[in-house]
Chain A
């Protein structure tokens, strides 16, 4: 199981850090599923989703590096990030349906996080908000894929 450390979300940097942890956790979960021989029927889908979440992490790093400047360093207040922390402890020996259900729940939490933080980001940086909205949509598409397994 991957170790993820989710911060309080009080700054733009900590929101991105939280998102990076979500992506890291998702990559680890899908990688684990892809390697599980019991879940071989879904292996290609899991691999593709692991790669997709890795790419999302790269996009977040890029956003933090390129888009931050002094004018948008406003504090973020009253965002309780604890409710977005997903369960990343993948069930051992699960069948494909159970694995899909687990991953779908993880994608839903992630979609909630991106959906809600995009509202904060809109006030700070519209480019970041657009990226977060896109991430949330992708999460929901991933959820549908997982539920169809």
Chain B
């Protein structure tokens, strides 16, 4: 089966979108954007300057008041426009995601759907942003009410693993509630965002309301240094999330900073084996393990360990690794040469730490894509809780198998991790499932579900070192993050 056609082979120079216009960056610093399956250069992305980010912030500030005065119902209508355009462009968006990020087309279609869903939820702004009041709430003849108001300019700094979805966790809610916005995509995957902005432009948002600035540190620093930026949403690694959180504190900005993860999937002795294994494959290997919700540690509890490991390794061996645009591929490449090197380094480390390498993905060759940044499914047995491969985020298709005596031991192990993004249990026992849900300190809990990806109308974030902030992305939490509650007490003489 031949691969699906790319929307474009060569995207040329990526532009910024500021104040309703597409502009070339004046920076001298440009990076190659590579297709991770072919390693061919598919675009050039600018590392925009501080001045360019400042110009976008000023345009957003300039646009803000008129946008704030645009009734919510009118703002919602633009979201509806965008939703229709996105449905039309659905397959193109998915193919661009797959081309630049490497994930399989099914993964990319799922991601694109989540983008649309976030627009659908944000379209409900007339309900989501509604305040409340209480007649005689302050005293007799004195009423009290709460108005939910936008704040101004917000920005998002986005990661490489979900070039479509992550910006849509944020900007639709900020903009629908009357704020203006700047998206800074990952410099490794700028094409999906650029394509999305063509749709945003077509939908008819006024100039300056939604802006796109490509870049890296300079652009991010400018967001923090500008007094008009009211808050920042971030998704990336834990060290950077911590830095973002600290900088936001120093500069007095709102922040939601999502970091790394080390997720454990716990299989109890009564788990439905075939369905469990199949579901876990998607968790460990989907997006080549580069999801913050990806499984990383597989814990077999009690007698289930041996049969589980055998079945899991057999099933892992059968996965087809290939170009994401080949619809029969189960797993694509990792994002870059550096990412591949890091993942291979962890596999080497696991061997040195004494874990038993049951399935080795280091030397995989994908016919037709021999240069691609592929790592095959990799499974370690005899992993112990003190090993680095059981504790650190690998962000690749590497599974550490641990044996535990009982559920208490598994939960204790999960709690020993500084991360708290997600954890899953596979069982048919309601008591075990309830205990796991109740006690496990993670932001997302799966019960017979390995990828606990919150739908757009639910909040998404982790806990502990996986998230710094209080209000999460998506849904009502996002609305709260981008708005303030203004109390009005009214008395008429």
Check B453 against A13 for contact (C-beta < 8 Å).
Answer: no
Check A65 against B90 for contact (C-beta < 8 Å).
Answer: yes
Task: Give the distance to chain B from A132, nearest Cβ to Cβ, in Å.
Answer: 17
Check A70 against B110 for contact (C-beta < 8 Å).
Answer: yes
Interface size class of A (residues with CB under 8 A): 20 to 34
Question: Which secondary structure dominates chain B's binding surface?
Answer: helix
A-B pair count, CB < 8 Å, reads 83
What per-residue 1/0 map shows which CB atoms of B1-25 lie under 8 Å from chain A? 1100000000000000000000000
Q: Collect the chain B residues with CB atoms within 8 Å of residue A74's CB.
A: 278-279, 281-282
Check B282 against A75 for contact (C-beta < 8 Å).
Answer: yes
Check B330 against A11 for contact (C-beta < 8 Å).
Answer: yes
A14 in contact (CB, < 8 A): yes
Q: Collect the chain A residues with CB atoms within 8 Å of residue B315's CB.
A: 75, 77
Check A70 against B329 for contact (C-beta < 8 Å).
Answer: no
For B111, give the chain A residue with the smallest CB separation: A70
- CB-CB contacts below 8 Å: A2-17 with B: 5-14, 17
B192 in contact (CB, < 8 A): no
A47 in contact (CB, < 8 A): no
What per-residue 1/0 map shows which CB atoms of B101-140 lie under 8 Å from chain A? 0001111011101100000000000000000000000000
Q: Collect the chain A residues with CB atoms within 8 Å of residue B110's CB.
A: 68-70, 73
Q: Collect the chain B residues with CB atoms within 8 Å of residue A9's CB.
A: 328
A119 in contact (CB, < 8 A): no
B174 in contact (CB, < 8 A): no
| CA–CA, A113 and B327, complex, Å | 18
Check B282 against A73 for contact (C-beta < 8 Å).
Answer: yes
Check A11 against B328 for contact (C-beta < 8 Å).
Answer: yes
Q: Collect the chain B residues with CB atoms within 8 Å of residue A68's CB.
A: 106, 109-110, 113
Q: Collect the chain A residues with CB atoms within 8 Å of residue B449's CB.
A: 71
Q: Collect the chain B residues with CB atoms within 8 Å of residue A126's CB.
A: none
Q: Collect the chain A residues with CB atoms within 8 Å of residue B91's CB.
A: 65
| CA–CA, A66 and B113, complex, Å | 7
Task: Give the distance to chain A from B166, nearest Cβ to Cβ, in Å.
Answer: 13
Q: Collect the chain A residues with CB atoms within 8 Å of residue B320's CB.
A: 8, 10
A56 in contact (CB, < 8 A): no
Check A123 against B90 for contact (C-beta < 8 Å).
Answer: no
Check A5 against B2 for contact (C-beta < 8 Å).
Answer: yes
For A8, give the chain B residue with the smallest CB separation: B328
Check A65 against B109 for contact (C-beta < 8 Å).
Answer: yes
B185 in contact (CB, < 8 A): no
A64 in contact (CB, < 8 A): yes
Task: Give the distance to chain B from A62, nearest Cβ to Cβ, in Å.
Answer: 10
CB-contact partner of A69 in B2, B114, B275, B279, under 8 A: B114
Q: Collect the chain B residues with CB atoms within 8 Å of residue A8's CB.
A: 1, 320, 328
Extra A-B contacts (8), CB below 8 Å, given A13-B327, A123-B278 = A13-B109, A64-B109, A65-B87, A73-B286, A73-B451, A75-B278, A75-B330, A77-B278
**Can you show 10 pairs from A to B with CB atoms below 8 A apart?**
A5-B1, A13-B105, A68-B106, A68-B113, A70-B107, A71-B453, A73-B106, A73-B282, A74-B281, A123-B278
Q: Which 8 A-B residue pairings sit nearest by Cβ, starting from the closest?
A: A7-B1, A13-B106, A14-B328, A14-B327, A8-B328, A13-B327, A70-B453, A75-B330
